[in-house]
Chain A
Amino acid sequence: MRCAFAFAALLLAACPAAAEESLVAGVSQDVVQISSTYTGTDLTVFGAIEQPSEGGVGDIVVVVRGPDAMTTVRRKDRIAGVWINNARARLLMPSYYFVASTRRLDSVAGRDVLGRYGLGLSNLRPDSAVSDGDPAPFENALIRAQARARLYAQNTTGVEMLSNTLFRVKVPIPAGVPRGPYNVQVYLFRDGTVVSAQSTPLYVDQTGFERGLYDFSRDRPFTYGLVTVLLGIAMGWMSTFFFRRGA
């Protein structure tokens, strides 16, 4: 939420200056449908800088965030020779995060600015954290795990400048991204500060037979369990006829 507030404040601040340098951006799709056979795709974010000021182009940073999700991170400790979950943290973090920029983020802006907008994997902080002890190692562990699952990614050369004012970013949407409302934010930086920004919503939906099964297991768990057992038994039973004939 902190990021959203910062973003809203920024938009208000940016409005009077709209006559100066500003951004127009769009997304290739506003709804991404993920089916069970889905292996991942690329989404394209494109845009242009309007009325660029003198003295070269600024830096573009594009961030895509998935819906916030509560995540439990546990740490194993050695207790009586056995590794056992001992400490835990509950963190509210985006379920998907991708950031791309024209160059290294630390040359785009200072740490405090990047931290305020949550730009870069190392500047990503949870909106709420309840932990046993220092939350930082838990946060880093979560970011590591999400990066392994390719749900968190950072590409410091991901913003492609097609001309002085036109840019394009390929956003990888891997299989297994969670469903929900996503947000694409495009920032224009100049001299380490944000001069313009734009936010575009995006919806990721899971469809297909497997999603139906998941919903079934959540909505009517008793029926789902019973169906699994009965169909399983039917499969096992029918196989005996099959083999009796074959023998």
Chain B
Amino acid sequence: MDLYLPIAQMSVQWLVILGMGFGVGFLSGVFGIGGGFLLTPLLIFYGIPPGVAVATTASQVSASTFSGVLAHWRKRAVDLKMGCVMLAGGLLGTGIGVYLFAVLRRMGQSEFSVSASYVILLGSVGAIMLNESARALMAVNEGKRPGGGRPGRHRWIHRLPCKMRFRQSRLYISAIPPVLLGFVVGVLSAIMGVGGAFLMVPVMIYVLRMPTNVVVGTSMFQVLFVTAAATILHAIDNHTVDIALAFALIAGGVFGVQYGVRVGSRLRGEQLRFFLALLVLAVASRLFYEMVAVPADLYSVTMGTP
């Protein structure tokens, strides 16, 4: 049976969309990730226009993040002050990102920009994760404890002005790095439809040196509002949010997550990261291949004068 997407103005198989939502939800349950960075390329591979894929994925991410924020909030694992400081940068970044996306779309370069940012980001994140998890797996095989050499204190962070006290994170640091981090993730949300946790969580742990128990909750807090803002701004500037596509993806996703969490709890961390790294690299190579391979049709048609 077909599902007609009112904004993308095309018919899709609703089972395929539900399946994609389920699959990505499953993987995000297994790996504890948002899944936006897998969903956007999948939708593009299926033939959804990149603009619609990005904006609609943002709405799916905000929907699937909400229950996570709620759970962490109840456990008092959200540093509200840190979250709001990051959010200030995040909302600014989203606004600029959506504006940038609209400009690129009018130039006919939005498709290329989305692909290129995915290849660069997924390629580097995947490579780092593969390297790290392969070392961890080898260390486990040799009978050593994984993890180990922690990097030294980042002195530069303590020399920055505008210091603020973050009680819940037990930190007294400048507000500039969190605002900057939020800003970068906001731009990524707008252009790629991702939540950005894959970038945010490592920086919060290793650079901001937040305690790990509040990192996930706080990053989810930021992701929730930034992706919600990205959705609304895309709806206003680019008219690319497809409500039918979003609901089908969310419906598939909520089931997928439940099963994914059960499977994920049976796998070891380094194995999980190893498989995730392979998955990320596979998506990046497919996108890269499409950028360099001779296209089936050199010409593309867009209705109207975007």
Contacts and interface: CB of A to CB of B under 8 A. Distances in A.
- Indicate whether A and B interact: yes
Interface of A: 36-37, 69-77, 81-85, 88, 90, 95, 137-138, 141-142, 144-146, 175-176, 210-211, 213-214, 217-218, 221-222, 224-229, 231-233, 235-237, 239-240, 243
A214 B295 contact: no
A112 B109 CA distance: 39
A115 B251 CA distance: 52
Contacts of A37: 4
B228 interface: yes
Contact of B62 (A145, A224, A229): A229
Interface in B190-246: 228, 231-236, 239, 241, 243-244, 246
B299 interface: yes
17 contacts: A36-B4, A74-B300, A75-B299, A76-B295, A85-B111, A90-B305, A141-B299, A225-B235, A226-B232, A229-B59, A229-B63, A229-B232, A233-B66, A233-B228, A237-B67, A239-B254, A240-B70
A228 B243 contact: yes
A76 to B, nearest CB: 5
A82 B292 contact: yes
A187 B258 CA distance: 64
Contacts of A224: 235, 241, 243
B291 A82 contact: yes
Interface of B: 4-7, 9-11, 59-60, 62-67, 70, 108-109, 111-112, 116, 228, 231-236, 239, 241, 243-244, 246-247, 250-251, 253-255, 258, 291-295, 297-306
B301 A228 contact: no
Contacts of B294: 83
B292 A240 contact: no
A90 B306 CA distance: 10
Given A74-B108, A229-B59, A214 B7 contact: yes
B290 to A, nearest CB: 9
User: Which 3 pairs, one residue from A and one from B, show the smallest C-beta to C-beta distance?
Assistant: A225-B235, A141-B299, A232-B63
A78 to B, nearest CB: 8
Contact of B298 (A75, A95, A236): A75
Could you say which of B108, B112, B239, B247 has the most chain A C-beta atoms within 10 Å of its C-beta? Answer: B108
Given A72-B108, A225-B233, A237 B66 contact: yes
Contact of A176 (B9, B59, B109, B254): B9
A66 to B, nearest CB: 12
Contacts of A176: 9-11
Nearest to B294: A83
A138 B304 CA distance: 15
Contact of A228 (B109, B235, B253, B255): B235
A127 B226 CA distance: 44
B232 A72 contact: no
